[in-house]
Structure 1
Amino acid sequence: MNSSPVSDDKQLKLHIPKNFTLVLMSCLVLLVMCVIASLVLGARHVGWNELIDGLFHPEVDSYGANVVRKRISRTVFSLMCGGALGVSGALMQAVTRNPIADPSILGVNTGASLFVVCGIAFLNISSANQYIWLALAGAAITAVFVFGIGSMGRGGATPIKLVLAGAAISAALSSLVTAIMIPRSYVMDQFRFWQVGSVGAGTWSGITTFIPFLLVGMLIAFITAPALNALALGDDVATGLGVRTGTLRLIAALAGVLLCGAVTALAGPIGFIGLLSTHVIRLILGSDLRFLIPMSAVTGAIILTISDVGGRLIGSPGELEVGVVTAFVGAPILILLAMKSKVRSL
């Protein structure tokens, strides 16, 4: 029997969906449109000439061109965060076999938030490099805790038990966050802006910090995709195909936590992107993770960037943080999915 956690591709042949090319091209066109919208729309709209100057004419020092240049890092950061959250959602759903699993629903974001607020309150941290390690530790510990509680009792880790465990732990951790912040006004002032979830503070320094975590998480996701397809058939079938299910779940879950934790550290807890992006692609292309994972990355980038632009337009002349926009859109969709699927496993 194969000792690798990744199953043999010959056992799970690659069948390209008939509409894959059309969906891919449509998503890429949407992605380009989102990038343009992110660069030109906001509290100060810019024209096409200013956009061209800002992108290709560094010698031009007009106000509009400088606005475009300032928005480039924000747009790149938004695309990276959305892609990471999309892939994280796909991995969480595959590992838990839960169609409504998402880092925010399973309490991973809240665990990262607790560790960050503890770092601010007790360790006086203030930089992204410090946030990221605490957020990753909090996300990982919470994920293990949720899965452990959800696995107790008869039937093991069923979808409904995981969701309930995630909701309960998230509520408990949120209470701890509040308890730590209330007597410390300086912590509340620093934490409340981060807690909303925003890509507005995206800088080239933050992007550079994020890139290694993004590359490692994405690489693991792509490598484990064939074996995760086997896992969807059930543990017994996957084991018969040579998949070490325990090792696979651990590796894939770590990749999901790595992606989600890094985003949470740098942008704050942004929910529902993994849920929305993965469901959109699954409805169109099916459940083959070799297509679902990369396309969830593209769709997640589109959804988060659209949400960021929408928040700027709705809140003009200020802006509405993207975490608020995604929660406003994602919450009713989650309720609808739960009602239709009745929390069935994948």
Structure 2
Amino acid sequence: MTLQTDETRRAAGPQPAARRRPLVLLGIGAAVGVAVILSLALGSRPVSLAEVADGLSAWLEGRTAEGIGAIAVQERIPRTVLALVAGAALGLSGALMQAVTRNPIADPGILGVNTGAALFVVCGIAFLGITSPLQYLGLALVGGTLAAAFVYVVGSLGPGGSTPIKLALAGAATTAALSSLVSAVLLPRIAAMDAFRFWQVGGVAGADWATLGVIAPLLAVAALIALFCAPALNALALGDEVAVGLGVKVGAARLIASAAGVALCAAVTAIAGPIAFVGLMVPHVARMLFGPDQRWILLVSALGGAALLAVSDTIGRLIGYPGEVEAGIITAFVGAPILVLIARRTRMKAL
């Protein structure tokens, strides 16, 4: 136990004070609450806090709200819930992939999961005429899994095995190749392009309870598996040899955590499209605030991802009025400068 503690501290640098963690976590939870209120209150028709309360009360009681403002709130609830769920899933997925690959720039987009899922959904739209969320989900899971497996195999070839740099390069090359295949499938098929072009940007505008019901069971199981993997991921951060000495089955731990990460990302991609940057940025912030302990990183990544996507969706509704800008565009626009600031202040290295 002493060996694990000492090596973890040497590898990760200074630890944040343990007594500050509950306060910071409370602040993140409050940020999620604020994001929910903003998502319900702001949009094409801003509503008051009293109307937000009326709309929520009516929804909880299972009745139709009275008043235009309260009705607007009630109609925004599925969208807000999807933004929270999708953001949490993407944050968790990014944290898992960074931990498994020990690569600080790993995320579902960079490792090809988003594009693999998108390719299979496009093929389903173009060749099979799929229209239901369940069909989208099945194809996205298959495509995301195959893309992730391909990137890992290619990144593991040659001396040194699957290094962070090799995985990133393999993921970038795979993403570029799959993106070109998506374009090749869509360009001759106008109808498929019309069905796909709004989905590919990434957003939560089409949320409804039926859609949420399709992905909720898978996301719940994958999230529980992710949290269960936290102790094994902490051991993997010390190196494979130390992890084996601590009794961790390295191959099984990587496989299970990777499967959970792919499932989280693919499920969200199937319903909301390929939303970029959440899984890349949020785990970095979690690591800066809470140190290298994956139990904290996974929890905070889920909360932070939920808040980020909900706020991004709200911003998109405001700046695009009377239309809207999709949340996937906002996350990339907001996230890029934040990641630059993190990179300037933090030495980027393998986890």
TM-score in terms of structure 2 length:
0.92
> Who is 2:110 aligned against?
105
Deviation at 1:277, TM superposition (A): 1.2
Cα deviation 1:146-200 (Å, max 9, x = unaligned): 1111111121111111111111110000000000000000000001011010111
> Taking structure 1 as reference, are residues 343 and 172 closer, same or farther at Cα in structure 2, changes over 3 Å only?
farther
Aligned equivalents of 2:191, 2:212: Cα separation in 1: 27
Please state how far the C-alpha of 1:18 moved relative to its aligned partner: 2.7
1:35 maps onto 2:40 in alignment:
no
Query: In the TM superposition, what are the counterparts of 1:87-166 in structure 2 within 5 Å?
Result: 87-166=92-171
Give how far 1:49 is off.
2.7
Q: Is the 8 A contact 1:217 1:258 kept in 2?
A: yes
Alignment check: 8 A CA contact 1:12 1:226 kept: no
Residue identity matched to 1:292: I
**1:250 partner SS:** helix
Residue in structure 2 matching 1:184, options 182, 185, 189:
189
The superposition leaves residues 220-251 of structure 1 with CA deviations (integer Å, 9 ceiling, x where unpaired) of: 11111001100000000001111111111110
Q: What runs of 5+ residues in structure 1 fail to find an aligned partner?
A: 1-7
- What is the match of residue 47 of structure 2? 46
Letter matched to residue 29 of structure 1: A
**Which residue type is aligned with residue 244 of structure 1?**
K
Q: Where does 1:1-346 land on structure 2 (aligned, <5 Å)? A: 17-57=18-58, 58=63, 60-334=65-339, 344-346=349-351
8 Å CA contact 1:100–1:334 kept in 2: the answer is: no
Moved over 3 A (4+): 10-16, 57-60, 331-343
Identity of aligned residues (%): 56
Q: Cα distance, 1:341 vs. partner?
A: 6.1
Which gives a bigger RCO, structure 1 or 2 (Cα 8 Å, sep 6+)? 1
Which AA in structure 1 matches 2:293? D
- Could you tell me whether the CA contact under 8 Å between 2:65 and 2:74 is conserved in 1? no
> For the residues of structure 2 that align with 1:294 and 1:322, how far apart are their CA atoms?
22
Shifted more, 194-203 versus 59-68: the winner is: 59-68
How much does 1:107 deviate?
A: 1.2
| Contact kept? 1:225, 1:289, Cα under 8 Å | yes
Q: Tell me the alpha carbon deviations over residues 99-124 of structure 1, each in whole angstroms, 9 at most, x when there is no partner.
A: 11110111110000000000011111
Gaps of 5+ in 2: 9-14
RMSD: 2.1
What amino acid maps onto 2:55 in structure 1?
Answer: G
CA distance in 2, matches of 1:41, 1:88: 28
SS at match of 1:37: helix
Deviation at 1:285, TM superposition (A): 0.5
1:333 CA displacement? 4.3
How many residue pairs were aligned? 338
